[in-house]
Amino acid sequence: MASLLFRRRLRPTSIASSILLRDNAELSGLPLELKFGISFGICSCFRQFSSSGGAKKFDFTDLTRPHTWYPIARRKKRKIFLHVGPTNSGKTHQALKQLETSSSGIYCGPLRLLAWEVSKRLNKANIPCNLITGQEREEVDGAKHKAVTVEMADVMTDYDCAVVDEIQMLGCRTRGFSFTRALLGISANELHLCGDPAAVPLIEEILKVTGDDVKVQHYERLSPLIPLKVPLGSFSNIRTGDCIVTFSRQEIYRLKKEIEAGKKHLCSVVYGSLPPETRTRQATRFNDAESEFDVLVASDAIGMGLNLNISRIIFSKLEKFDGLETRELTVPEIKQIAGRAGRYGSEFPVGEVTCLDAEDLPLLHSSLDSPSPMLERAGLFPNFDLLFMYSRLHPKHSLYQILEHFVENAKLSAHYFITNCEEMLKVAAVIDELPLNLDDKYLFCMSPVDMKDCISSQGLTQFAHNYSERGIVRLREIFTPGTLKVPKTHTALKELESIHKVLDLYVWLSFRLEDSFPDRELASSQKSICSLLIEEFLERLGWQKPKSRKLLRRSTSSSLLSEDMRHCLSA
């Protein structure tokens, strides 16, 4: 690996090195109440505990009343609108219309791409809107609105209107707690929740104790989606506007190569570990009717977030490896992905869906005909306040032990489950070896590190180590600017994706430990270079249509890299 120099490797523990994967999640923020210290609801529990003198009896692992953690929201009787229906039915559009007419508001989405899109939409409509994600702060003069990733949802401010998109993700096994926190904690006169009808009974149950007013609005698909009776069969039947869905990075590149070998189509690619800005640019290129890249090969990363002009979805398989095992796709997964075909208002207003092989068609058809199973429980995770107070009683416990204790002993009501924190435990196991305060350790545990990616996890380890040793982390200590190159092999491509993750992590930390991570600008510019080099690689992978002037022009100027970028690279 050319560009990252990891000086000292800390000993990975067995947990740290075990292969447990996190969902395609974008854990991009810390609860904002952390910035303000202990939140009121928990403070009052603590007072109760202190004055009664029953220190040993007070049970911080009692999480049966999470709605009391958010006293600001509890002061309001919120009007809650549940916009539910299939994909492409106008749920988000309707909720955003309400946000646009409000005097102040917040949009919370599951992905940075969605937050970007909403802030762009509001600013274009002359409604100043800030963009806040784990790795971005774009502030607009006079803004009373903000678009954020759900982990950055602010539960300390009063809003006129709030939107939480893809609310069914409160059932997600790793990120569910952030959606639950937004649901219970956002203080707004109107709260609009958009998502799958399968979340309705659970949300109604959860909200029985908050005193809010709940209304459900059902939506129908705006454009038809036709399940085809015939499979694709052969790649010679691929046509413009098709999107092939497969579930491994290796398969994505294999299929791209196979389709392009027919010399009729060029493929854009979208998958989870591509930098978000690269995903957006690949999608834009596919959407552009003038572009030569008229077919998309993608993973389930297209299920949410990108506006795609897809005519037909073709599942190459209906099973995927989910980190633990290879399993069939669930009904909601199949519907969410299939629903991307035929976007309302696009050049393909009628969507079609099929499979590569005939043997998969019965499962596809039956899944599309079935309702999604109702969600039964929402994710919950103790916030920092609870962990902190528990640690005061057990000062010798490491963060790993504290987290483990909560996971094993948490008491929950029937509507909740503790979200999976294997990834946090893996970080805690490494971080606990360093002389850091609990809040610093917690911060590193909440960071968007990908512990299954060796380069990303080593980056985190090195950052934490340097931070604990010197209090300041200069990017150049582990990264040498000027060494990034257009990858020539798939291994080099993967390495560049990982380097992007490390730089992204640096930027994330720089927003939370500003004085200790002072090189945000350098990290951001190197991140941009990484994504452009990745795109350059993707561009070079494609074949060139004979007599295609457009493509020739592109390849003789041959590069997506601007002069500035070239200069940076050779600096």
Ligand X SMILES: Nc1ncnc2c1ncn2[C@@H]1O[C@H](COP(=O)(O)OP(=O)(O)OP(=O)(O)O)[C@@H](O)[C@H]1O
> What one-letter code names the amino acid at 158?
D
Between residues 345 and 482, which has the closer beta carbon with respect to ligand X?
345
- Return the residue matching tokens 């958010």: 70
- Return the residue matching tokens 């079935």: 370
Report the nearest approach of ligand X to the CB of residue 190 (Å): 17
CB-closest chain residue to Mg ion:
92
Question: Which letter, b or e, does each residue of 27-53 get, where b requires 16 or more Cβ atoms within 10 Å of its Cβ?
Answer: bbbbbbbbeeebbbbbeebbeebeeee
CB 276 within 8 A of CB 133: no
Under DSSP, is residue 73 helix (H, G, I), strand (E, B) or coil? helix
Binds 29: which of ligand X, Mg ion, none (CB < 5-8 Å by kind): none
Between residues 193 and 502, which has the closer beta carbon with respect to Mg ion?
193
Contacts of 259 (CB under 8 A, 6+ apart): 235, 238, 244, 265, 267, 295, 297
Binds 474: which of Mg ion, ligand X, none (CB < 5-8 Å by kind): none
Site string for ligand X, 82-101 (x = CB under 6 A): ---x-xxxxxxx--------
Site string for ligand X, 114-153 (x = CB under 6 A): ----------------------------------------
Between residues 79 and 93, which has the closer beta carbon with respect to ligand X?
93
Report the nearest approach of ligand X to the CB of residue 111 (Å): 11
Q: Dihedral angle at the C-alpha atoms of 177, 178, 179, 184, nearest 10 degrees?
A: 80
Q: Dihedral angle at the C-alpha atoms of 41, 45, 46, 51, nearest 10 degrees?
A: 140
Sheet holding 312-315, edge to edge: 225-227, 351-355, 312-315, 242-245, 293-298, 266-270
Report the nearest approach of ligand X to the CB of residue 163 (Å): 11
Report the nearest approach of ligand X to the CB of residue 95 (Å): 8
Which of positions 75-114 make contact with Mg ion (CB under 5 A)?
92
Which of positions 212-271 make contact with ligand X (CB under 6 A)?
222
Which of positions 298-357 make contact with ligand X (CB under 6 A)?
343-345
Between residues 6 and 348, which has the closer beta carbon with respect to ligand X?
348
Between residues 85 and 185, which has the closer beta carbon with respect to ligand X?
85
Site string for Mg ion, 385-424 (x = CB under 5 A): ----------------------------------------
- Return the residue matching tokens 């005193």: 211
| Residue 36 binds ligand X, judged by CB under 6 A | no
Report the nearest approach of Mg ion to the CB of residue 92 (Å): 3
Report the nearest approach of ligand X to the CB of residue 89 (Å): 4
CB-based burial of residue 272 (10 Å sphere; 0-12 exposed, 13-18 middle, 19+ buried)? middle
Report the nearest approach of ligand X to the CB of residue 150 (Å): 14
Between residues 92 and 130, which has the closer beta carbon with respect to Mg ion?
92
Report the nearest approach of Mg ion to the CB of residue 166 (Å): 7
Contacts of 316 (CB under 8 A, 6+ apart): 244, 245, 246, 251, 255, 355, 356
Beta pairing, strands 242-245 & 416-418: unpaired
Number of residues forming the site for ligand X (CB under 6 A)? 13
Of the candidates 108, 121, 178, the one whose C-alpha atom is nearest the C-alpha of residue 147 is 108
Report the nearest approach of Mg ion to the CB of residue 115 (Å): 13
> What one-letter code names the amino acid at 363?
L
β-bridge partners, 315: 245, 355
Binds 345: which of ligand X, Mg ion, none (CB < 5-8 Å by kind): ligand X
Query: Which residues sit at the interface with Mg ion, rule CB under 5 A?
Result: 92
Question: For binding to ligand X (CB under 6 A), which residues are involved?
Answer: 85, 87-93, 194, 222, 343-345
